[in-house]
Amino acid sequence: MVGLHLIKHMKGLSDEELCAVWVENPYFQAFCGETHFRHRLPFDRASMPRWRKRIGADEMELLPAETLSVAVQTGAVSERQLSRITVDTTVQTKAVAHPTDSHLLLRATEWLNRLARRHGVKLRQSFSRLMRQAGRAASRLLNGRGHRQGLRWLRKMRTWLGRLTRDIRRKIDGMSTPEQKSPKVPE
């Protein structure tokens, strides 16, 4: 049971998935101490949750720690190796969005609108819907055949961002009291 629960936590399997995989995988069976390949489980599936309840949650948390201490005692692993763990994440998907021009311009517009709203600056036009539509159009056209038209959309987006920046700068400069003034908008 201990070997099964270690495999379950290493692979992130449910009880049913673990039982199905254990029957198919001879390596898992050897890990659990079986000397010959088995085509059926040597126990009832319902005994796993009962065993977990009997052991208790505190003891279940000690299983991986005890496994590592036995590995150190037998010499399979040195303590120096356990002090630093290297995780290979080359296969994992990364949540990285490439900084395309259209997305950066859209984010700048969103930030300026948010700051203007927070400081009570009334804008002529927020350009938020236009920028989103233009960003979608630009990305669609730049990846297809309409490269020149996509660049035209990017130029429009830059123009709209400049208009928004100038509008905010005019409104900030026109505020009367110094405590109402918000920080300068970066260029």
For residue 184, tell me if it sits in a domain: no
pTM for the model stands at 0.48
pLDDT tens readout for residues 32-79: 888 888 888 888 878 888 888 888 878 878 887 888 888 889 988 888
Give me the phi and psi of 88, to 5 degrees please.
Answer: -90, 110
Q: Does position 181 have pLDDT exceeding 60, yes or no?
A: no
Same domain, 61 and 107: no
Least confident of 17-31, 41-55, 127-141: 41-55
For residue 181, tell me if it sits in a domain: no
How much is the pLDDT for 169? 94
Same domain, 73 and 21: yes
Residue with tokens 């005890």: 66
Q: Which pair of tokens denotes residue 36?
A: 């010959």
Give the separation between CA 161 and CA 155, rounded to whole angstroms: 10
Domain that holds residue 107: 101-173
Residue 186, judged by CB atoms within 10 A of its CB (0-12, 13-18, 19+), counts as exposed
Query: How many domains would you assign to the chain?
Result: 2
121 dihedral zone (left: phi>0; alpha: psi -120 to 50; beta): beta
Same domain, 67 and 132: no
Give the separation between CA 53 and CA 46, rounded to whole angstroms: 12
Cα 73-78-83 angle, rounded to 5 deg: 120
* Boundary (domain end) residue, out of 25, 48, 83: 83
Of the ranges 68-72, 85-89, 103-107, 139-143, which is most confident? 103-107
Same domain, 56 and 105: no
